[in-house]
Amino acid sequence: MNIQLKKFCLKKRTEKDYGFGLVDAVLSMSLLLGVITYGIYFSSLRLNTVYNSNLTRSINKEIQRDIERLKSELWCMYFEGKPDCQGNPVCNGQYCLSNGESLPRYKCKDMAIEILNLNSWNVGENPGSIIQSWVPGPKRSKVFTGEKVTISRTLTVKSPLNNQLIDKSIGSIDYTVSWGKEIKHWVSIDLAPEAHSWCAQVI
């Protein structure tokens, strides 16, 4: 009787051990799968954040370079600082045409045409257009090797203090950036040619 009772208890204990081991394995696998899933999810979030940060920084640098080029050309527009063949300064270090004549009134009235003719402005396929677009390639930044990024700029001219009675001497440039299905307004700036400091106001 004692022997049969011991065999029965041993059998029950063995069945319980087998059952507990199976449940423990399932729980361990579930926990491991959950940890791996969350690890991959948070890693992808981190990589996406790093990519967006690098993309934003590269776009900012690209637009900053473009603004510096425009500022440089606007600054030297009509500036004749070099002396003529006789060694005399053509414009006494001021802004004028290459023959030494002062800037005509129509040049000072509206600078839109002058800005559209800048070499730095015409970067797209439509020279002379108020909208210019370009795609920075991998030579600019390695982050541009991924999804295609397009930077566009639009020119509008306006008067100082938005007064229509004053000449249109300020060029407002709006930069927009598009990649994938997203189109975002990035930054707007106001630029004025240095020539206007030598122009009489048109009233």
Nearest residue to 177 via CA among 35, 75, 58 = 58
Q: Which domain holds residue 161?
A: 2-198
* pLDDT tens digits, 40-95: 888 888 888 888 888 889 899 999 999 999 888 887 777 666 555 555 556 666 66
Domain assignment of residue 60, yes or no: yes
Domain assignment of residue 36, yes or no: yes
Interatomic CA distance for residues 49 and 13, integer angstroms = 54
Question: What mean pLDDT comes out for the span 107-121?
Answer: 79
As given in the structure block, the two tokens for residue 44 are: 């992808």
Confidence category of residue 106, pLDDT binned at 50, 70, 90: low
Check whether 19 has a pLDDT greater than 50: no
Check whether 126 has a pLDDT greater than 90: no
Confidence category of residue 188, pLDDT binned at 50, 70, 90: very high
The region of weakest confidence among 21-30, 91-100, 116-125 is: 91-100
Contact 153, 132 (CB under 8 A): yes
Domain assignment of residue 176, yes or no: yes
Domain assignment of residue 123, yes or no: yes
Domain assignment of residue 119, yes or no: yes
Confidence category of residue 157, pLDDT binned at 50, 70, 90: confident
| Domain total in the chain | 1
What's the predicted TM-score (pTM) here? 0.68
Contact 154, 133 (CB under 8 A): no
CB-count burial class (<10 Å; 0-12, 13-18, 19+) for 129: middle
Distance from chain centroid for Cα 92: 40
Domain assignment of residue 6, yes or no: yes
Domain assignment of residue 53, yes or no: yes
Q: Show the CA angle centred on residue 154, arms to residues 150 and 159, nearest 5°.
A: 160
Domain assignment of residue 203, yes or no: no
Q: What's the pLDDT score for residue 4?
A: 56
